[in-house]
Amino acid sequence: MHFKLILAVVEDTETNAIMAAAREAGAIGATVINNARGEGLNKTKTFFGLALESQRDVIVFIVEEHGRYIGRDGD
């Protein structure tokens, strides 16, 4: 068996819709990390001291790989 890790960084308002679509596609579960934020090399812009960042969630899916890729050696 081979598995793949899918990380989806999404707006927090879209998490429920994405989970519903994943379930409809056959997903049996996922891990949701709420209120994720990123850090870059440069400071983020602010407006009167308030960060202009939106809340994001990270959804973690582990899915089983099906089929083979062209050009891949057999395991």
pLDDT for 36-65, tens place per residue? 877 777 777 777 766 667 779 999 999 888
Rounded percentage of the chain residues whose pLDDT exceeds 70: 83
How far the first Cα of the chain sits from its last, in Å, is 10
pTM greater than 0.85: no
Q: Where are the domains of the chain?
A: 3-64
